[in-house]
Structure 1
Amino acid sequence: MPPEDPALGYPREDPSAPRPGHDRYLDEHAGPMVRPYVMTSGRIEPTRGKFDLITLVAAVGPEPEGSVGLGPEHLAIIRLCQNVMSVAEVTGHLDLPVATVRVMLGDLLDKGFVSLQEPEPEADMHDIRLYKAVIDGLRAL
């Protein structure tokens, strides 16, 4: 049994251990198949939205009934995002590359199934007033 991960509260997965169902995606010479590329129809960028790892994503409503042109991974994202979740968390739960998850999140955003809250932009680091305020603060200490 793999060692327990204290942050998660349950045993860590052994990355070298065989995973059920994953052997069908392997080829002796090529290695893992390019399934994420297929899931995104070859796209590597979302149609809109930046989707930083700390961007928060929330489902706008319940999982849609029936097939509305969404793949199983899209539906999994909607289920996961019933509770607000960061892009990094969604990526971890789905065990997919972050670029793939970003493209799928862009699809869901376009269709109105998710909303997002981008992180606040960093302060303008070219503003000399910011540096003066920091220096004044340090001098006051």
Structure 2
Amino acid sequence: MSVPGRQDGPWLDDAAGRLIRPYTVIGGRTRPTAALDLLSLVMATGSAPLPHFGPEHSLALGLCHGPTSVAEISAHLRLPAVVTKVLLSDLVDCGALTARAPRFHDTHTDRSLLEAVLDGLRRRL
């Protein structure tokens, strides 16, 4: 299993870069079967994935010990978000992962958080 942040793995090589195209990993599919967005949280159930899944599925599953967003997994795997969504939806479909929509707080809290971030960015620029 790959350690997040490392450059090696089944589709990366330090010297050569990406060895196979991302959409080859998912058999050319472009749509996940599960409704996932970048903020969806996925978590391993403890069930084993189907044996015909590739190493990419195992790597994705290994990143899901606790609730983890699709965006985080995509970044760790260095794959496009749609490829990551298809991988994760395969794992949801076979019962190896659970997925849930992100929980949003009331709009007042979200607005104050966004204003604080904006103020911080203005100070840095």
TM-score category of the 2 structures, normalised to the smaller one: 0.5 to 0.7
| Ranges of 4+ aligned residues in structure 1 off by more than 2 Å | 21-25, 119-123
Query: 1 CA distance for matches of 2:40 and 2:54?
Result: 22
Q: Which residue of 2 aligns with 1:76?
A: 59
Scaled by the length of structure 1, the TM-score of the pair is 0.58
Code of the aligned partner of 1:78: L
> Percent identity at matched positions?
37
Q: Which residue of 1 aligns with 2:26?
A: 40
Query: 1 CA distance for matches of 2:90 and 2:15?
Result: 26
Where does structure 1 lack aligned partners over 5 or more consecutive residues? 1-12, 14-18, 26-32, 124-141
Query: Which is bigger in relative contact order (C-alpha 8 A, separation at least 6)?
Result: 2
How big is the alpha-carbon RMSD for the aligned residues of Structure 1 and Structure 2? 2.6
SS in 1 for 2:52: coil
- Tell me how many residue pairs correspond in the alignment: 95
Per-residue CA distance 1:14-42 (angstroms, 9 max, x = gap): xxxxx6153473xxxxxxx6x11111111
Q: Which residue of 2 aligns with 1:86?
A: 69
Q: Which residue of 1 aligns with 2:98?
A: 115
Code of the aligned partner of 1:101: T
State which of 6, 12, 22 in structure 1 corresponds to 2:16. 22
The structural deviation recorded for 1:69 is: 1.1
Where does structure 2 lack aligned partners over 5 or more consecutive residues? 1-6, 8-12, 107-125
